[in-house]
Structure 1
């Protein structure tokens, strides 16, 4: 609604106008009153007003001076004059300085006032629509400029040697580049972009989402600061940005660098993106870094660290435990040397290729984790953005193959039963988790997790419980000494045996044996 201010030195006129006119019919609302021009200007300074209806003759500041002040300082406000028959010279002066019309006080009831209000309302609505239209055009033009800049930055990333376009000529005076890596894809980059432009002018800044998890931005460096102050200011802006975006989008990495006037902008942005992605791959998330602090990529050849012939043979033998061992050795080297990301992914893809080819002789063994063909392998590997994700993806597939094999040879319950039978026959020996896993044909880690899931106990606790159970039988059925019983059930240290026995049974082995013999004598 059009907000109206009534100005007249007579209270009865102000109240009469407020009560007499059906303001809502003209989409108007009287929001305030004033007794003179001075009061009116104070009100206009304090709240939004679109229409001033004012008397001409008033004390202090009259209607002419009020109109002049309004039109000089608030040209969008419409002014309508209330006048008497002898005010026409003043009316002409007011119209000359911008008043939109006048009404004789004697004609307020003959429809003239309503006609002016109707006309004013119509003109205001027209101006409002035109204003919205022009605002929309300005917004579209601004969006077009931003879109053009985004495309130009994208072109610079694709062809770093390309010249700087005119739309980005401010880059030549130096800029700050920022590369973003998000752990989780933001629901929308709108809020992230908003925070970026809180530190960067839209006239001299660009924010470009690269995909669902990455973005890059750049903005002009401040000229008026010294280099030291400029660097400090830029670092502080990046810290603020990191904190605000972390609250919006969760864990992120932000990498930044300042470019001088002599730098090739395209090469700087490409290097920023590549170094940021490399650091994220090996170091996960939660980092804010100047990209110059990131070490150079390792140069070792990861293919040379793997015995590929051995991997082929182990795949044919379905020896998943040994396959994991040689993969562990490889990945421990790569974690230290940190070769280029693409080289690591190529090695993992080669491991997958050799394993899947080796399994073609046994269609019962398969894993959907890696996909169903070479193209799937490559596309899934591309999506692994960190070293940890990539290695876990490889091992997840190997574990599924172990699972498939255990089903193929009788089901995992059957395999665990086979393991327990082996432990029942060999509990008195120094058997280990590795020994039992190898006996049933599973890797140590896979066997350990499945054993606990099915039995409810981890391997060591189950073996100790089994040995204590066998010790109780010997203590009940024989007269062997405690030392001899300990040795027969697999304990080399009788004191350790006694400690564990008491923990399981509540009494030591000697007390247990004496109570058994006492019971037998009583019987």
Structure 2
């Protein structure tokens, strides 16, 4: 039984997650709750916990601080981040600290509870190798030429796999897990088995038939584990409804990367915001190749996509450049790429509503991202217009028309918005925060903050944490 601890400063969220999700169906049990990181650490000292779901933004000790402490004290603890947080840096920090999954609270609708727990359960099984025992034959070496596996990308429900397909008594059929099953038959029966399994593809949603070679001298248990690993990593990217039969050798190495590098994630984010990928096929293909090359696990990919969408909408939703809709669930890279294509179309449509050329729109987007990514730098409209090779007056006019604020107004606005996050989610001094958002004078920063919010930074921090 996987013992679960839920950490969130909102009591209703804790109770809702604890009572509404079908924990028992996935061999899980909620053993405790905590309202902040400090109380969570106290609980971990007294009771064994296998899985911790934690919010990021909490008083006393934030989720990030809790993760750092828990990772040192309890290296075997599995952690899932549960948050509404919109800042890309916080999301990537959670992934760097070893979070096995990232769940946006907006995803936790009733019909997705089972799907979320299935994903977490599968991830824990893959990391700990705690795989259900197979029949007594599982340690016997395979003597068949090939092993066949039907694998469904749809994991929300159990599938009814066909029973014995050939008349031969040596036919083997074993369920791998709830979304996959494998077969084997003697050479004389292989063609019949293969064609019957192909006929089954249309009966199971999002299904792929794997034909595994080089299976001799391996145990059934090893083959089962290989199928589970391949399904979780490579098949996620290979699946295509137009090519449902895949022949693969078990000697092939898995190319999935478990540890995305910060510079690779940053490169994707920069490409999304700063290259005209929505309007040019070469840039689009480059962006897709960058995504695929990382081979991110599904949870990591969801976290990356969610952070990109939230940042885009935070920056552009209230402007003429438009809002994009998040992909709330997916079972394969094929679905993700379909969503990216639809997103590109919606961005193009929003761009077409303006009177400016695509070159000018892209330049304004690039200017926005330059400022966003380096708030400590004191950028000016004059300096950016020169960098973008546009006259200052025209740049200022375009910026205000597209972003709804003058450059100076926007610059102050985003610095104050970033400082709000620091105030609520860190214990750093006002001077430290002022420097991080581009103000070397703490008093001047406080005056600007008060002009835009009606409160001093210290008052905002106290009020925000008091409400929580």
Q: TM-score range by the shorter chain?
A: 0.3 to 0.5
Task: Return the structure number with greater relative CO, CA threshold 8 A, min gap 6.
Answer: 2
Larger radius of gyration: 1
**Larger fraction in helix:** 1
